[in-house]
Amino acid sequence: MSSKRVVIGSPVGLHARPAKLLVEAAAKQPVPVKIGRSEDQMVDAASILGVMALGVRGGEEVLITAEGEGAESAVAEIAELLARDLDSAEQPAG
């Protein structure tokens, strides 16, 4: 299993646009990705309801995990995404 802690870069946290971008990125991964504040509070990162129910705020640290072939790169990609301000008007192509 691969895991990484990351601080949420969007000042508004994981709601609306940032949550949507996370869910879309997680759904494209070759393995299921989970997100939560701790190992006992993980949700499917590809579930908009699960992600929004976490109520994660900007600057808060979350844990990202994935298991299986491609887990390490999936976790790295999601961590990089979450570290950015996803609520800003301009997003880099990617």
Active site residues: 15
Residue 55, Cβ density class (10 Å: 0-12 exposed, 13-18 middle, ≥19 buried):
exposed
Helix H or strand E encompassing 22: helix 16-27
Which one-letter amino acid corresponds to residue 1?
M
